[in-house]
Structure 1
């Protein structure tokens, strides 16, 4: 019981100015103390530091905590990653607390089901949907996960097009995530109908949202050339009309959707130049919807025109083939949950969501590392620096959708 009487010693990393206010919240300190107690530390030192914004996350404050000390079995070190909730109503059309609570729910329930389903089915570790370790001390103020950076995981450069290898690994993970949603539907139909189908996107498509969209769309399209320039203004009303429908309506096929499945939200471990493992994270935009929205979201926020011309059809096929293969672990037939013919139809209809997504999210992805925006400020104006590479990326997307007959 000696460790219960010891005060938690927290040392803040001041070298790089990474720890705002040099203080973790009282409730977070209590959570860390509970972890220390459960892990059996006899002595311990806690080092905590805040992480700066890097353009990959706009919905939470981030921190990492290192715990070192002695246990009855010898020295022990734990590294955890903390996402702390932002103040509510940061921009007038969504509440940060709703997104945080959705992510908390996903870690506490659906992902636990997914983990158990995979274990019970005896799926090889290397073929599973990968889920980070979640700490039960997480609450309505913060989510605590293992710090995967300490295990060699990194993220790709958000401004660079993803490689074919990364795309294939990511699409396989996405397909397994959606397949596990269908498994949950099969094994727990009442829970699925009550809890999963009711999980809607918490966004208010009000006048502030419309103003935000107009500002961000204008910033995205101001440097377009040729036919794209001519069509940009006339297309905007359709963007405003269809985006809420894509986000709120599941159509003929629905399942649990990640909602923010882009390259920067997928942690990657590389060994000898080859991708060894991907772990998707950041489930705060989780909702029940059309699964293909996740697929085209990844594609149009992370690829360039050459990649799409060379690989789009194969990536599409890989996605559905992986769902079919993964469902066989559970003796389920993909035709009963996501028929191929229906998938092809939904894919064609949903490609346009990829276009819409690019028109309002690319300015965040290409935000200059030295001039990162605040979501609240963008409602009024877009006055931050955007990397010059965005001009080419959005031009290519407009050109593709003109060629494909969507614009």
Structure 2
């Protein structure tokens, strides 16, 4: 059955078909009759760059024969191609949808089976359960359990993660890294899952974004008392920072499966409430949003997490404990799985951490401005369009077709050697209103985190020639 193209096009008939496919995996012959369903937006605008996410609540009746009917309620999360044709085409180019679908349909099952066979006492890699998936080029849908309904929630991105949540997150990503590393030694991961091969063109837009975001940083530092000299250092270092960033991919080998977008809002936590008090205990964790995953270097996931999702105080106070925890989990689990890491003690990891500081600063600077801003155009909800009217469907299809065509033309240009100038203009338009917000001083959380990461980078000598 043809999959809907988005949340607004979900029908009762498709839900019955999709849920029956799911139920028949365990109970062949099951029929599903949907009594009622509701669809709502899954995430705030600006936090879903790779796809459209909607939440679907379904009440249905399941039957497998005479007199066997039972009512069941489903809480689902469904992903589709991004509603904007340009964004959808770019994500097709970088295989974001395929990588995420395969993660839920095959990869994690394969890794967990490998883990259970060799270290049965270890808990599995935790991601939401897949309900249904389809991808055939023109159609794409991924349906998962809505883990919010089971009590999982994300941390407030404006506050950042505390030590307990960082430690738990680091443990979980270390497990992903260790299991995939060991699996590869026995089975050749990329031969089985070639779509995860890292391609340098996936990060060629970052220098353009860095260039534009640093202009905001320089303007901001010039308004902060005592930071005028730092503003000059950033301005002078500006041309070489992108080169330092790109050079990392020549210096560090790709050794395991990495998340690629490992920050606060892609980690969900569940808590146990104690009856005798208001205190909660962290009970569970699940990692979500795998569209940027690739075979890469694990230190990048750590830099990404800590510089996008924690405060400078936490990093300064607890960095050794955090990295020690990661190193212990990664190396001990890899050894149990039959793939010990030779010549990689904690001092070697710490050296890698220091050498990749430019990665943490670059991604931290970008995400602080991109996700904490209240004026980012990408964070604005899409209002009703006249083209949504049924009578104008032919016009909407023509407009969307034009956007898709332009994306196919521009995609190779963007990811090519001359794409930087084009993307600088594009990102410059997005970052102008963010600069105004920074200079206004109204967004204290964003400004504080931005100043912290700039001062931290200066202390590490990233702006020194």
User: Is 1:326 the counterpart of 2:382 in the alignment?
Assistant: no
Within 5 Å, give how 1:7-406 maps onto structure 2.
Answer: 23-24=8-9, 30=14, 33-39=17-23, 40-45=30-35, 46-51=37-42, 53-71=44-62, 72=68, 74-86=70-82, 87-90=84-87, 98-124=95-121, 127-139=123-135, 140-189=139-188, 191-192=190-191, 195=194, 198-200=197-199, 202-203=201-202, 205=204, 211-224=208-221, 225=224, 226=227, 227-246=229-248, 248-249=249-250, 251-252=252-253, 254-272=255-273, 273-335=280-342, 340-368=346-374, 372-373=378-379, 378-382=427-431, 383-384=433-434, 385=437, 387-406=443-462
Q: CA deviation at 1:349?
A: 0.9
Compared CA separation, residues 350 and 167, structure 1 to 2 (3 A): same
CA distance in 1 between counterparts of 2:119 and 2:170 reads 22
Compared CA separation, residues 269 and 54, structure 1 to 2 (3 A): farther
3-state SS of paired residue (1:256) = strand
Please state which structure has a larger fraction of its residues in helix.
Answer: 2
Deviations 1:305-329 (A, max 9, x none): 1111110111111111111222244
Unaligned 5+ segments in structure 1 are 5-9, 11-19
3-state SS of paired residue (2:182) = helix
CA distance in 2 between counterparts of 1:398 and 1:158 reads 19
3-state SS of paired residue (2:130) = coil
Q: CA deviation at 1:203?
A: 2.5
Q: TM-score, normalised by structure 2?
A: 0.73
Compared CA separation, residues 205 and 405, structure 1 to 2 (3 A): closer
User: Partner of 1:15 in structure 2?
Assistant: none
Q: CA deviation at 1:50?
A: 2.7
Aligned length: 385
3-state SS of paired residue (2:429) = coil
Deviations 1:128-154 (A, max 9, x none): 321221234332522211110110011
Compared CA separation, residues 204 and 303, structure 1 to 2 (3 A): closer
Q: CA deviation at 1:400?
A: 1.7
Deviations 1:319-357 (A, max 9, x none): 111112222442332337x55454233222112210111
Unaligned 5+ segments in structure 2 are 24-29, 63-67, 274-279, 381-422
3-state SS of paired residue (2:354) = helix
CA root-mean-square deviation? 3.4
